[in-house]
Amino acid sequence: MSCPARPDYASSMSSLVWIELDADAPDRNVRELRSCTAGAPLFCAVVKSNAYGHGMKEIAGLIPSADWLAVNSLDEGLELRGLGERRPVLLMGHAPLDRLGEALDAGLRLTVFNRETLDRLERLASPARPAVIHLKVETGTGRQGVMPEDLVPMALRARSIPGVVTEGISTHFANIEDTLNHGYAERQLAVFRSCMDSLAAAGAAPPVVHAACTAAGILFPSTHFGMVREGIGVYGLWPSRETYLSALMGGRPVPSLRPVLSWKTRLVQVKEVPEGSFVGYGCTFRTTRRTRIGVLPVGYADGYDRALGNSAWVLVRGRRAPVIGRVCMNLTMIDVTDIESPSLEEEVVLLGRSGDEEISAETMASWAGTINYEIVTRISPLLPRIVVGGTGGGRPCSSR
Ligand SMILES: Cc1ncc(COP(=O)(O)O)c(C=O)c1O
């Protein structure tokens, strides 16, 4: 197995806003998630969308225990190959027809759910330049996937094309993390099983079968098949409270997941304003005492959600300080009146731990009215990702 080299060491001191990644957590999480799967299916780590905002380049280098990687787009797959990633990489989204040749040349596995993709592969693929494909079947998510009644004809057509190798068959669950009642997921699983029976009857059953996202991987051994395809758990986050409760109530092994990411910044101005002063655009906050304002150089352009205005808290020296006023494009104001002598460029934690306090992605999501997936995924890819801890003996290390 080969993967990109671990990131080089550097320092966060020159950054005003940055992401810290716990060097050991991603692979530890993979191993924890694996311990929920008996029969040792392959573990495919989903690193799409910049590894859920964590930094695809960094995360790929921190999960040597993952057997496969999955991305959404062709460009993400090509980026992994450009980084020297040699593990199997599965494209889960649509690869543009006129760029399919790039996928073949880079040895990327394609997810296929359109007849047109096969038509184009017929012209491009050959035994010397194979197209390795995974058919995706629609079982009730109403998203990407070939309808069950079209699956066998598509599999037979794929088999008839020299150079096309149908390696896998997959589906994706619609609401497995949304509810304690998994009846809908069970119906999807039944449809998937009947699709596989039809493929087997037609002599076209692919070897690699996969359906399980993190919630399914934790909760339902019946979904594991030959490979699990897990994302959010790799980053140390639970898919939902319902998934956690379902694992506890169902007597399933509960993996101990460790969040990978912290989001930090620094105070770029500290000043006192009189009682009755307005703060920020729209004058939505007015001080009720003489107030010490701390200005942070982070805003919605960085992915710090505008909905966090007047609702979130940050951590300064292990204490909570409230966000006051609206979040601007590049700036956010906090009330540091109760923090003793805060200094210019002092560290502030937006997400993560400081002392005994923690702001989790789930907490921030509840303040912003969204889910933990969106909180981390929307963090700007332009911010530096600094890998800390691990074999580097606790020194910060950076790879950007
Ligand atoms: C097709 C597919 N498979 C697997 C996953 C991983 O899901 P999770 O992050 O819940 O593990 C996703 C995530 O969106 C997905 O779109």
- State the DSSP string of 176-224: TTT-S--HHHHHHHHHHHHHHHHHHHTT---SEEEEE-HHHHHH-GGG-
For the segment 335-353, the average pLDDT, to the nearest whole number, is 97
Q: Are 137 and 151 in contact (CB under 8 A)?
A: yes
Burial grade of 391 (CB within 10 A; 0-12, 13-18, 19 or more): exposed
The mean pLDDT of the chain is 94
User: How far is it, in rounded angstroms, from Cα 334 to Cα 216?
Assistant: 40
Tell me which residues have their CB closer than 6 angstroms to ligand 1. 46, 92, 172, 213-215, 229-233, 239
How many CB atoms are closer than 10 A to CB 90?
Answer: 24
pLDDT for 287 beyond 70? yes
Tokens of 217: 């991987």
* Residue with CA at minimum distance from ligand 1 atom 4: 213
pLDDT for the residue numbered 23: 98
* Residue with CA at minimum distance from ligand 1 atom 13: 231
For the segment 2-26, the average pLDDT, to the nearest whole number, is 73
State how beta strands 269-273 and 89-91 pair. unpaired
CA–centroid distance, residue 223 to ligand 1 (Å): 14
pLDDT band at 13 (very low <50, low <70, confident <90, very high): low
pLDDT, tens only, 60-98: 999 999 999 999 999 999 999 999 999 999 999 999 999
Tokens of 212: 């399980």
User: How far is it, in rounded angstroms, from Cα 377 to Cα 360?
Assistant: 14
Nearest to 347 by CA among 327, 325, 323, 318: 318
User: How far is it, in rounded angstroms, from Cα 162 to Cα 389?
Assistant: 49
Domains 24-249 and 261-359 share a fold: no
CA–centroid distance, residue 229 to ligand 1 (Å): 7
69 forms beta bridges with 45, 89
Q: What is the CATH number of domain 261-359?
A: 2.40.37.10
244: left (phi over 0), alpha (psi -120 to 50) or beta: alpha
pLDDT, tens only, 34-66: 999 987 799 999 999 999 999 999 999 999 999
Q: Which atom of ligand 1 is nearest to the CA of 217?
A: 11
Give the residue, out of 229, 238, 374, with the most ligand 1 atoms within 8 A of its beta carbon, to mutate for a pocket test.
229
Nearest to 246 by CA among 175, 154, 350, 308: 175
What are the residues whose beta carbons fall under 8 Å from the beta carbon of 320, sequence distance 6 or more?
313, 314, 357
Stronger pLDDT, 13 or 14, i.e. the higher one: 14
pLDDT, tens only, 137-162: 999 999 999 999 999 999 999 999 99
Secondary structure (DSSP) of 244-299? HHHHHHTT---------EEEEEE--EEEEE-TT-EESGGG-EE-SS-EEEEEES--
Tokens of 265: 């910044």
Domain boundaries, given as residue ranges, for the chain: 24-249, 261-359
pTM (global) more than 0.85: yes
pLDDT for the residue numbered 9: 41
User: How far is it, in rounded angstroms, from Cα 332 to Cα 112?
Assistant: 44
pLDDT for 7 beyond 90? no
Q: Are 58 and 22 in contact (CB under 8 A)?
A: no
For the segment 99-109, the average pLDDT, to the nearest whole number, is 98
What are the residues whose beta carbons fall under 8 Å from the beta carbon of 297, sequence distance 6 or more?
16, 17, 265, 266, 268, 330, 331
pLDDT for the residue numbered 10: 45
Nearest to 363 by CA among 305, 318, 324: 305
Tokens of 292: 């010490």
CA–centroid distance, residue 230 to ligand 1 (Å): 6
For the segment 287-299, the average pLDDT, to the nearest whole number, is 98
* Residue with CA at minimum distance from ligand 1 atom 2: 172
Residue type, 49: S
What are the residues whose beta carbons fall under 8 Å from the beta carbon of 34, sequence distance 6 or more?
40, 43, 65
Asked which of 7-16, 106-115, 259-268, 364-373 is least confident by mean pLDDT, the reply is 7-16
Catalytic residue annotation: 48, 281
User: How far is it, in rounded angstroms, from Cα 237 to Cα 213?
Assistant: 13
User: How far is it, in rounded angstroms, from Cα 101 to Cα 320?
Assistant: 53
pLDDT for 12 beyond 80? no
pLDDT for the residue numbered 260: 98
Give the residue, out of 72, 171, 172, with the most ligand 1 atoms within 8 A of its beta carbon, to mutate for a pocket test.
172
CA–centroid distance, residue 4 to ligand 1 (Å): 23
Nearest to 215 by CA among 171, 246, 236, 193: 246
User: How far is it, in rounded angstroms, from Cα 218 to Cα 232?
Assistant: 12
For the segment 221-243, the average pLDDT, to the nearest whole number, is 97
Q: Does CATH place domain 24-249 in 3.20.20.10?
A: yes
